[in-house]
Amino acid sequence: MRSRKFGRTSWQVSEIGYGGWGIGKAWWGGADDAQSLRSLEKALEVGINFFDTAYVYGDGHSEILMGKVLKGKDVYIATKIPPKNHVWPGLPETPLKEAFPADWIRSCTERSLKKLGREIIDLTQFHCWTDAWLKDDDWKTAVERLKKEGKIKAFGVSINDHDPDSALELVQSGLVDSVQVIFNIFDQSPIERLFPLCQKHSVGVIARVPLDEGGLSGSLTKATRFDDADFRKNYFKGNRLNETVERVEKLKIFLGPEASTIPALALKFILGHEAVSVAIPGMRNPKNVVLNAGVSDSTPLKNETIMALRAHAWKRNFYGGGID
Ligand SMILES: NC(=O)c1ccc[n+]([C@@H]2O[C@H](COP(=O)([O-])OP(=O)(O)OC[C@H]3O[C@@H](n4cnc5c(N)ncnc54)[C@H](OP(=O)(O)O)[C@@H]3O)[C@@H](O)[C@H]2O)c1
């Protein structure tokens, strides 16, 4: 497993990390805890040392599972503080005090410390953001205090879906250690402005949703059906699933010696950008952990392949309610 420096911190993180949304069960139509625990153990075994979770991934369930397996291990755990008003995305018209007031930042940090069973959180992230909140000083003081008290080591934000430009000012402000952003073959938008700024200001980049919620897993077909409890029933509703499968079909011309599967191609595309510190595929199955970790051990994509994949960007937002 190759590692990369995490922004301005001294951390060396595995370039494949662990996405912990699915194991929290919420929105993913259930997961088997025993299998999730085996996946986390397998992640340690294959050299993954960066784990991403959030309180809202099952009201602490994902944090608890990680806490169990990662206890005493020399790894980095990133969690997230939800907005107090439970409104996603972060909107400029929302006052900061409704989303991330100082007492909320502190109480959520303490709650996550308990769920994780740790003394200190390596990276705490706001679960959404808008640059309009930059002018407010309360959150800055709250974060600084938590750092001074030794409750958190680093601070970042998770950027609104498909809107990398909503955190450009924050990246330039020097106030964050990292940003978490959607970056995959379909959504390449961070390449334009966010990534160059992160490189300039040494801000770590966590590439989330690397497999487009399964769209780039290579396992969806036009006949795939999702359970009612799986949010992807909505994500891939209407003609979205057919469109996704047809887009993936076009990617198959890239399969060969450089990458033999669609998920390997998708992860290598992400790792091909040097602004990226870590890609965090969601993995509820130990088999996927082994496959994804293996991507880091094999030869990177050639630059010309990456450039050809740039033509496969696809602008859309499947998280929204309407049928696109
Ligand atoms: N707003 C935010 O901050 C936010 C939002 C979304 C996600 N995230 C973070 O980003 C992480 C990754 O995103 P995600 O989990 O939503 O989606 P994802 O990583 O794009 O896709 C996960 C899907 O891919 C499947 N998969 C993984 N590796 C595979 C492989 N080698 N072959 C075939 N299928 C494979 C998983 O299978 P299984 O179903 O078997 O596990 C799962 O269905 C999350 O877990 C979370 O940590 C953050």
Decide if 217 contacts 262 (C-beta within 8 A): yes
Domain-located, residue 213:
yes
Q: Name the residue type at position 215.
A: G
Would the pTM of this model clear 0.75, i.e. be above it? yes
Residue (of 58, 27, 22, 60) closest to 39 by Cα position? 22
Domain-located, residue 224:
yes
- Mutational pocket test of ligand 1: of 57, 186, 208, the residue with most ligand atoms within 8 Å of the beta carbon: 208
Predicted pLDDT of residue 321: 52
- 284 ligand 1 Cβ < 6 A: yes
- 82 ligand 1 Cβ < 6 A: no
95 alpha carbon to ligand 1 midpoint, in Å? 31
- 83 ligand 1 Cβ < 6 A: no
In this structure, what token pair is assigned to residue 202? 């040494």
Residue nearest ligand 1's atom 33 by CA:
217
Decide if 238 contacts 323 (C-beta within 8 A): yes
Paired sense of beta strands 178-182 and 204-208, if any: parallel
Predicted pLDDT of residue 29: 80
CATH code: domain of residue 183: 3.20.20.100
211 alpha carbon to ligand 1 midpoint, in Å? 6
Residues 144, 169, 14, CA angle at the centre, nearest 5°? Answer: 70
Task: Report how many domains make up the chain.
Answer: 1
Give 257-290 as a DSSP string.
Answer: SS-SSHHHHHHHHHHTSTT--EE--B-SSHHHHH
Domain-located, residue 300:
yes
- 178 ligand 1 Cβ < 6 A: no
Residue nearest ligand 1's atom 15 by CA:
282
Domain-located, residue 16:
yes
Domain-located, residue 176:
yes
Mean per-residue pLDDT pooled into runs of 10, the chain (324 residues): 98 98 89 96 98 97 98 97 97 97 98 98 98 97 98 98 98 98 98 98 98 97 94 96 98 98 98 98 98 97 98 94 40
> Residues with Cβ < 8 Å from 270, sequence gap 6 or more?
183, 184, 207, 210, 276, 279
323 alpha carbon to ligand 1 midpoint, in Å? 22
Domain-located, residue 317:
no
Distances (CA, A) of 99 to 77, 119, 230, 259, 294: 23, 25, 26, 42, 39
Domain-located, residue 319:
no
Domain-located, residue 321:
no
Predicted pLDDT of residue 320: 78
- The domain of 136 spans 3-312
